[in-house]
Structure 1
């Protein structure tokens, strides 16, 4: 069974965290046919963490997890922190397939979205 984890930075402002959770709910509505589970996770300031969500999913017999970094740029979190966390999880859960897809900011559709909005 497949799962998707969307990863955000996390904020000290709850409104920002809730905006991300609301986005994840919309992603669930559009993609529940592709994934058994779709979950939000945060890197800093707020829970659940990536590790907590993976533990939960593995306990629910998920054996393939895709990570989608919801970040605009390929800074330290995208290029180092998330890969390090996922590599650690690969060592812990050897029977689970882990995959990190390109971060949000690499999407070719962003320029079109901005153009439509302006």
Structure 2
């Protein structure tokens, strides 16, 4: 049986409070789908790194990962760094299927929600 996990992937920051919005998204997903394994991973400055996160999920028996970049746009990190990290993780854990979604900030529903929020500031 395939066990699928979701990784919310963020840039990371030196300030640990930076991850709070991602943690809230993680909790919101878990509240909607308690059976789904949802993990956080970071490009730099914070842990777990993507490598650490993927290793942990593989140890838990996960066989499929959907990776959601929590970035506003397809930056250089998503075009270059993330694919290299995913390729390295796939070599380390060949039993895993890892699929990378597009940047969350480019999703039409997210763009609409940001526009509505900004217009409500008046």
CA shift in 2, pair 1:73/1:30, >3 Å = same
Gaps of 5+ in 1: none
Could you list the runs of 4 or more consecutive aligned residues of structure 1 that deviate by over 6 angstroms after TM superposition? none
| 1:8 and 1:69 in contact (8 A); partners too | yes
Measure how far apart 1:114 and its partner are: 2.4
TM-score of the aligned structures, taking structure 2 as reference length? 0.87
**1:31 maps to what in 2?**
33
- Count of paired positions: 116
* Cα-Cα RMSD: 1.3
1:76-95 paired onto structure 2 within 5 Å: 76-95=76-95
User: C-alpha offsets along residues 48-78 of structure 1, whole Å, 9 cap, x if unaligned?
Assistant: 1111111111111100011100000111111
Q: Secondary structure at the match of 1:55?
A: helix
Gaps of 5+ in 2: none
Q: Distance in 1 between matches of 2:27 and 2:111?
A: 24
Q: Distance in 2 between matches of 1:20 and 1:109?
A: 17
Q: Distance in 2 between matches of 1:79 and 1:57?
A: 24
TM-score of the aligned structures, taking structure 1 as reference length? 0.90
1:1-118 paired onto structure 2 within 5 Å: 1-33=3-35, 35=36, 37-117=37-117, 118=119
- Bigger radius of gyration among the two: 2
User: C-alpha offsets along residues 17-56 of structure 1, whole Å, 9 cap, x if unaligned?
Assistant: 22322221112212334x3x11011111111111111111
Q: Distance in 1 between matches of 2:69 and 2:9?
A: 5
Q: Distance in 1 between matches of 2:23 and 2:102?
A: 20
Q: Secondary structure at the match of 1:40?
A: strand
